[in-house]
Amino acid sequence: MSDTSPPPAQQPQAPQAQRRPPTVALAEDRTSALREKAAQTAALNLLDRERSLLQFNRRVLAQARRDDVPLLERLRYVTIVSSNLDEFFEVRVADYIEAVRQPGSGITQADLAAVAQAAHELIDEQYTLFNNEVMPALEAQGIVVLNHAQRSTAQRAWVETFFEQQVRPLLVPLSLDPSHPFPLVANKSLNFIAKVGGRDAFGRENQIAIVKVPRVLPRVIRLPAALTPGYQGFVLLTSVIRAHLGALFPGRQVQSFSQFRVTRDSDLEVDEDDVTNLRQALRSGLTLRHFGQAIRLEVVNTCPDELTAFLLEQFSLPEVALYKVNGPVNLVRLNQLIDQAEAPALRFPPFEPRWPAGRLPHGRPIFEQLRQRDVLLHHPFESFEPVVQFLREAVHDPDVLAIKQTIYRTGTQSVLMDLLIEAARRGKEVLAVVELKARFDEEANINWAERLEAVGAQVVYGIVGLKTHAKMLLVTRRETTAPARGSKPAQTRLRRYAHLSTGNYNPRTARMYTDLGYLTADPGLTADADAVFLQLASQTQVKPPKHLVTAPFGLHKRMVKHLAQVAEAARAGKPARVVVKINALTDPQLMHALIEASMAGASIDLIVRGACMLPPGVPGRTENIRVRSVIGRFLEHTRVLYFRWGEGEDDEVLYLSSADWMSRNMFRRIELAWPVRDAALRQRIIDEALVPYLHDKRDAWVLDSSGRYKRVSETGASAQRALMQRLG
């Protein structure tokens, strides 16, 4: 089957405060991985992971410069970068700061300063693009954000009324003195600091005041159409408060002020060996997460030095943690402008994923169809609704006895969770493996766990010390075979049906993320899935799966083994090919195995959306490795792993997986990979999830040996657009 192998990609031309953790701090645990990574990175001459993540955000930001991207979508990419950077500081920089404080971590102040410098440069670039290109272009299209100086007399009057009626009643300025110390400022909340002159009501000259802005207030307000003839006018909440800040201090003078925002360490950690109830421990920690150690301080670039110095002192932050921005301190909230603007032409054309009627006809039970063949779903080009329908049929089918599902990120509202609850109410055996430590989804998952338990579902939280990241849905059905004439009587048996996926059980993100789902009644795969659920629930030793490959048990070893097979084939002059599509590549052992295969002469293409620490094209080491990243309308999330080490049919394998090639996925998570044995489906995955991305010219970037990315082109083929046309 060597003629089915994916072809090679075409080469383009050319000082800190004492930490107050939400629960039990595990500083040594958090830094041990960084310590090991630093040593292995140096030994293998790898790229820096944190700067690679920032490079990814540069590629996202580049989408906001593209003339072929609609204007409101260009603004959305600007906000996505801000959201990504928030998490980068909350988690990655927080880990760096923790590591710097730990002797022998391998991370130095110089390393931290280098990451901070790269972040400063990216944020400066982001605001320059926002102010000089995106917003003027929107204004030219009649979507205008008006500051106080630009507002007409009538508009100012309307804004003043809005402030008095909707905003001022919710603001409580706090003047600082010994009995009114600097307040606790929540993570990523909007605040104002003001220096005021004159005396307060008690005759004192306390000069500094803090104004917290409630999250319930809208950050973008649309002006009435009658006040904006011929265009759509908006004002930012920060501009409204700024224009009327003096009204909060009657009898005093506002001498200087600034909006500010602090980003805090938000990696919620518990010592799972030291708590009796993980759910309760996490529930308690959630309220304190907003007040972890300060990591970054954002102020507007007009903020006086004395106020920035005061804020840095209050948050115990060094100068390098200060980010002066030319605009709102939270660009993420400008999503409200995108939602409110009436301009369909400035958004991506609507795209409706298609039900794969040719392979999964309407009107026939899905179970009946799966008994005949496996079904592959390619999201978001194909609808996620078949997965919902699969579960819905299971819930309402009286012959379905048990339903088991893993829950990682499903959202605060979920038709799938509602169906599981209904299944339990109907008396079916429901097992939900809920990952409570899914970062920033902990509260939603805790709420779903409690609702499921309330109706009698069995809820477990995976394995202590490991996150359950595998995506599995298993249905057990009682089926009766019809007797043939003259044969034995009808027999009853139990048959399993499964859905395995590279992505989450979240219908909303399934419209935005590319993923592959696999519906099957294959006895081997479903039996293995059942064994994995048994192990997660009972923690009992089970026989190694015959078909599924799981982490932390065998997935890493299997990947290393296949890379060794490819290297051996290359040395013997046989076909030797690797194509891997993942979200991140940071595991040192896997990168070492890739280097060995490259040095042996294997042809290797890596399609890595985000962080990639392996530099390609290094003579004598990685000259046979090509790395590309595709950034388009949808977030690339599919994990596909292809290996060929010879000419025979048994010398080729293709896996779908929930795991990225990161050490945490291989050793600290429950992950899943499964081989696609059906030749037609394997070829379809190659044709849809690999080949178009290897030849993408419009949305692809290529990585060079120095760690820099270059866009292949701005014209030509786009993998995502082609798939939208083919499947949507």
Domain of 674, CATH number, reads 3.30.870.10
Would you say 290 and 311 are in contact if contact means Cβ atoms under 8 Å apart?
no
Are 150 and 216 part of one and the same domain? yes
Cα angle value 212/218/219 (rounded, 5°) = 75
Would you state the pLDDT for residue 30?
57
Can you spell out the DSSP letters for 74-109? Answer: HHHHHHHHHHHHHHIIIIIIHHHHHHHHSTTSS--H
Residues 44-70 as b/e (b if ≥16 CB within 10 A, e otherwise) read: bebbbbbbbbbbbbbbbbbbbeeeebb
Q: Which long-range contacts (CB under 8 A, 24 or more apart) does 285-288 make?
A: 285/22, 285/23, 286/22, 286/442, 286/443, 286/446, 287/22, 288/20, 288/21, 288/22, 288/23
State yes or no: pLDDT of 26 exceeds 50. Answer: no
Band of residue 539 on the pLDDT scale cut at 50, 70, 90:
confident
Half-sphere exposure of 642 (CA within 13 A, CB side): 29
pLDDT tens digit string along 580-624? 999 999 999 999 999 999 999 999 999 999 999 999 999 999 999
Would you say 246 and 253 are in contact if contact means Cβ atoms under 8 Å apart?
yes
**Measured torsion, CA atoms of residues 338, 343, 346, 352, in degrees rounded to the nearest 10:** 90
- Structural domain count of the chain: 3
Would you say 420 and 430 are in contact if contact means Cβ atoms under 8 Å apart?
yes
Would you state the pLDDT for residue 101?
78
Range with the poorest average pLDDT among 155-159, 284-288, 370-374, 439-443:
284-288
Domain final position from 547, 582, 605: 547
Are 418 and 530 part of one and the same domain? yes
**Helix 415-425 and helix 385-396, axial crossing angle in degrees, nearest 10:** 10
Q: How far apart are CA 391 and CA 418, in angstroms?
A: 11
Non-local CB neighbours of 638 within 8 Å, separated by 6+ positions: 502, 503, 514, 515, 516, 581, 656, 689
- Decide if 212 is inside a domain: yes
Q: How far apart are CA 606 and CA 617, in angstroms?
A: 12
Would you say 321 and 116 are in contact if contact means Cβ atoms under 8 Å apart?
yes
Are 588 and 717 part of one and the same domain? yes
Q: How far apart are CA 479 and CA 499, in angstroms?
A: 19
- Decide if 346 is inside a domain: no
- Decide if 255 is inside a domain: yes
Band of residue 387 on the pLDDT scale cut at 50, 70, 90:
very high
User: How do 294-300 and 322-325 pair as beta strands?
Assistant: parallel
Cβ atoms within 10 A of the Cβ of 624, count? Answer: 22
Are 440 and 560 part of one and the same domain? no
Cβ atoms within 10 A of the Cβ of 182, count? Answer: 15
Q: What is the Cα gyration radius of the chain?
A: 28
Are 561 and 710 part of one and the same domain? yes
Q: How far apart are CA 298 and CA 263, in angstroms?
A: 8
- Decide if 338 is inside a domain: no
- Decide if 54 is inside a domain: no
Mean pLDDT of the chain: 90
Domain final position from 494, 515, 547: 547
- Residue type for 417, please? M
pLDDT tens digit string along 298-307? 999 999 999 9
Kindly state the greatest CA–CA separation across the chain: 105
CA 7 vs CA 568, 642, 691, 701: distances in Å: 20, 12, 7, 18
Cα angle value 519/525/531 (rounded, 5°) = 120
Structure tokens at 112: 């931290």
Strands annotated E in 616-682: 625-630, 635-636, 640-644, 652-657, 669-675
- pTM score of the predicted model: 0.91
Annotated binding site for ATP: 84, 513, 609, 637
Are 267 and 310 part of one and the same domain? yes
- Decide if 74 is inside a domain: no
Q: Is 469 a catalytic residue?
A: yes
Nearest to 146 by CA among 89, 75, 220, 199: 220
Are 516 and 579 part of one and the same domain? no
Omega within 30 of 0 (cis) for the link into 229: no
Looking up tokens 């602090």 gives 262
Are 438 and 455 part of one and the same domain? yes
Range with the poorest average pLDDT among 84-98, 251-265, 483-497, 644-658:
483-497
Annotated binding site for Mg(2+): 409, 439
- How many angstroms from the chain centroid is the CA of residue 336? 20
Q: How many residues does the chain have?
A: 728
User: How do 513-520 and 635-636 pair as beta strands?
Assistant: parallel
What percent of the chain shows pLDDT beyond 70?
A: 90
Are 387 and 322 part of one and the same domain? no
Cα angle value 184/188/194 (rounded, 5°) = 60
CA 698 vs CA 7, 77, 628: distances in Å: 18, 17, 12
- Decide if 47 is inside a domain: no
Would you say 448 and 434 are in contact if contact means Cβ atoms under 8 Å apart?
yes
Q: How far apart are CA 556 and CA 559, in angstroms?
A: 5
Domain final position from 511, 531, 547: 547
Domain harbouring 282, CATH code: 3.30.1840.10
Band of residue 270 on the pLDDT scale cut at 50, 70, 90:
low
User: If 0-12 CB within 10 Å is exposed, 13-18 middle and 19+ buried, where does residue 165 land?
Assistant: exposed
Q: How far apart are CA 126 and CA 58, in angstroms?
A: 9
List, in sequence order, every residue forming a beta bridge with 487; answer none if it has no partner.
none
- Decide if 140 is inside a domain: no
Band of residue 198 on the pLDDT scale cut at 50, 70, 90:
confident
When pLDDT is averaged across residues 215-231 and rounded to a whole number, the result is: 97
Band of residue 2 on the pLDDT scale cut at 50, 70, 90:
very low
Are 240 and 261 part of one and the same domain? yes
State yes or no: pLDDT of 40 exceeds 70. Answer: no
Q: How far apart are CA 92 and CA 107, in angstroms?
A: 13
Would you state the pLDDT for residue 421?
96
The helix (run of H) or strand (run of E) holding residue 685 is helix 679-685
The helix (run of H) or strand (run of E) holding residue 709 is strand 709-711
Annotated binding site: 84, 409, 439, 513, 609, 637
Non-local CB neighbours of 306 within 8 Å, separated by 6+ positions: 195, 256
Q: How far apart are CA 11 and CA 627, in angstroms?
A: 10
Cβ atoms within 10 A of the Cβ of 511, count? Answer: 15
Band of residue 544 on the pLDDT scale cut at 50, 70, 90:
confident
Non-local CB neighbours of 646 within 8 Å, separated by 6+ positions: 569, 574, 575, 652
pLDDT tens digit string along 412-453? 889 999 999 999 999 999 999 988 876 767 788 888 889 999
Would you state the pLDDT for residue 14?
34
Structural domain range at position 494: 366-547
pLDDT tens digit string along 7-20? 655 443 333 333 33
Q: Which of 244, 378, 379, 469 is catalytic?
A: 469
Would you say 464 and 395 are in contact if contact means Cβ atoms under 8 Å apart?
no
Are 150 and 225 part of one and the same domain? yes
Are 485 and 566 part of one and the same domain? no
